[in-house]
Amino acid sequence: MSANFDVMKPSSDPHVPETAFGKWFLRTETWTVHVLERALVDLERMMPADRRGYDVVADVGCGFGRSLGKLHQRFAPKRLIGMDIDPEMLQESAKEMAALNIAADFICCSSSNIKLEDNSVDLLFCHQTFHHLIDQERAIQEFFRVLKPGGVLLFAESTKRYIHSWIIRLLFRHPMDVQKTAPEYLAMVRAAGFVVPDSSVSYPFLWWSREDLGILETALRIKPKAVREETLINLVGVKPSPPVR
């Protein structure tokens, strides 16, 4: 299968480049299985039950493309789009899709300036991308703009509590002053116009999202506190359709 590229040059939009460790981590089985796959499984169970298909599926911040094959397998879209601000990552994503014999389009752009038409996407996947963005409010408005009425947003994100932890500060690089708590992310998505029922929100507390990497629970049998500041939020939002007249 061939890959189509659009705007394959570095974006001029401000962004915080990933560290070398971060780029390495995105290619590991830990990322693919324990971060990406677990998020997709959780999001999928909260999706609308009445949708039969998603013809156009886009991944905002696809990185090295580990998500694209999973999205193709689950939703079999007629058009699969990978977007990222890093041209190198898109080139590697194209190789990943070629190895899986999956056709995909790739667009080099910022999430706050998406190179897609209004109302052109059925399902938008944003996984562990939002905490990298500088202009988060504009990005969520862009998500709303490109989704069709009735379109679905799959949003999985690390919160301020996790991004500000010592281990993440040590290994990764992010715009620290824009990070949000789980309630703040939920409020932002709803304020953009998405319908997000409480039943379509979850707060996983996975081992990799803890400062101790889960060692206290697995090795010392110390259970995490029931009341805590959440480190992750997964949600499914729907762009409402206009009322029928």
For the chain, the structural domain boundaries read: 3-9+17-238
Query: So what's the pLDDT on residue 81?
Result: 98
Query: So what's the pLDDT on residue 209?
Result: 67
Strands, E, within 43-164: which ranges? 56-60, 79-84, 104-108, 121-127, 147-158
Per-residue pLDDT of the chain (245 residues; tens, 9 = 90+): 556 766 555 555 667 778 888 888 888 898 899 999 999 999 999 999 888 789 999 999 999 999 999 999 999 999 999 999 999 999 999 999 999 999 999 999 999 999 999 999 999 999 999 998 999 999 999 999 999 999 999 999 999 998 998 888 888 888 899 999 999 999 999 999 999 999 999 999 876 666 665 555 566 566 666 667 899 999 999 999 887 66
CATH topology for 3-9+17-238? Rossmann fold (3.40.50)
Q: Measured between alpha carbons, how far is residue 71 from residues 60, 129, 136, 146, 241 in Å? A: 12, 16, 24, 18, 24
Contacts of 70 (CB under 8 A, 6+ apart): 36, 37, 40
